Amino acid sequence: MFKKNLFTCIVVGVLFTLSLVFAEEPSDVLSLSKADFNETVNPEKLILVEFFAPWCGHCKALAPEYEVAATALKDANIKLAKVDCTVEQELCSEHGVRGYPTLKVFKEGKATEYNGGRKSDLIISYMKKQSLPPVTDVTIDNFDTFKDSDEVIIIGFWDSESQNEHNIFNSVAESLRNDYIFGQTGQKDAATKAEVTTPAVVLYKKFDEGKNILKAPFTKEELENFIKVNSVPLLAEIGPENYGSYVDAGLPIAFLFYETDEQRTSLGKAIEPVAKNFKGQASFVYINASKFGQHAENINLKQQWPAFGIQNPNDEQKYPFDQSEEITTEKIQIFVSKVMKGEISPSVKSEPIPETNDGPVTVLVADSFNDIVYDKTKDVLVEFYAPWCGHCKKLAPIWDELGQSYSNSKDKIIIAKIDATANDIPTSSFKVSGFPTIKLFKAGDKEEKEIIDYQGDRTLENFIEFITKNAANKVEVNKTAPEEEKKEKKEKKETAASTPTPSASKDTVHEEL
């Protein structure tokens, strides 16, 4: 799945200093050092600073976008600056820079994290929002200019009876100020010009139908949902820069995978009527299979194009459209309708259930997960792993030893593992975001099993201590290994003593975190 932040270079090794100096073209981006950082940044009401390293690929990709944004924001008196952390190591350390690029917004010297996109238009939009109060006063004189100042603008139109909605609007504006520009007016002339009957909130946008209206009365939740649903286009391209907006909308995402521009155009015409029919129920998007085709596997689709599928980012449920079927308006309409009505079960990827599962570590697959893990009589400690994960490989012998330690008590405590790349996790009560992830599903009579995350060192002693402290069932740990295991370990030790250790070959895999 896409991540909201895919653009941070991880700091590796010791930072090095470039010794070559290149002639630079004139730039609207300020270059700062420790000597002039505070005197430049602190007086500014608003300034964006990029902490970068010249060798960082993501920094190189950001550079031209940053330059364009700096030039565009000059008229708004918003400055952009940069700090080379290979030269200014102490300054970057003072500002908690741990990866590149790191961007921070400074307001009179006080820093906050930059949470916008990395394209010039997104940087410009984000910084303009930062320059405004949470809610701007709108009058008949500035109405047109304000309404057209960004891709999406939200304006509240009030009268003397709308104090409750006014308060709700201000609260929502404060919480969403980094994402949208808000304005409000109590002027009757402004409402008349906008052809709005007060009280109401109007979302103006430079796409689709141009505006949406939410009439009072409304709750905070209704206003938030109105904004999130209507602020994304009916059918648009999705990528790392805007994926977060679709997740925030809280709706299932219907992905149309295309490989060529011709496919995008022709299939878009087929999908658009369906998108209109289900507006507010699902978000429909194009996704470039040449760039992001691997995402199809997250929806249990094969990498064959074109393809269509629905994924709910909130509970990870997925619904792949039959790839042997042609993508037509009629077929997609029926498919989406059945998904929305719950007439199609979510697709669950699962390995086959093991024919035998009597080893010290119980092997879980998606189809057996709930039956074993949610058995209320048993404490189940589960490792969610990936076969390619280096830390998982290192943990494997320790995990086997842990399973052996509780092998005489499997009626009360189970040590288990599941390949989370080959099996979907058939529950929305928790998410696995890294490997290995270890969770204890505690025995008990509660309707929902208590889940306790393991955060300690990955040693046998610490695992046993964790289980002893947190498991509902109290059992004796096997203190000595069975005779066969002792014999096997002895044979391995003798073999190792007489066999040279092989050197790493060119095929050795070096895993990342």
Residues annotated catalytic, as ranges: 56, 59, 389, 392
Looking up tokens 């498919």, which residue turns up?
A: 335
| Coil vs helix vs strand at 248 | helix
Q: How far apart are CA 181 and CA 135, in angstroms?
A: 7
Q: Give exposure, 475-507, as e/b (b: 16+ Cβ within 10 Å).
A: beeeeeeeeeeeeeeeeeeeeeeeeeeeeeeee
Find out whether 3 and 41 touch, Cβ atoms under 8 Å.
no
Neighbour count for residue 393 (Cβ, 10 Å): 15
Interatomic CA distance for residues 1 and 254, integer angstroms: 14
114: closest CA among 104, 106, 101, 99? Answer: 104
DSSP track, 204-222: EESSTTSEEEEESS--HHH
Give the pairing type, strands 152-157 and 181-185. parallel
| Token pair recorded at residue 298 | 């997250």
Contacts of 259 (CB under 8 A, 6+ apart): 289, 290, 305, 306
Strand intervals (E) in 443-486: 450-453
Residues of the chain by 3-state class (helix, strand, coil), percent to 5 = 35, 20, 45
Q: Which of 176, 83, 168 is nearest to 126 (CA)?
A: 176
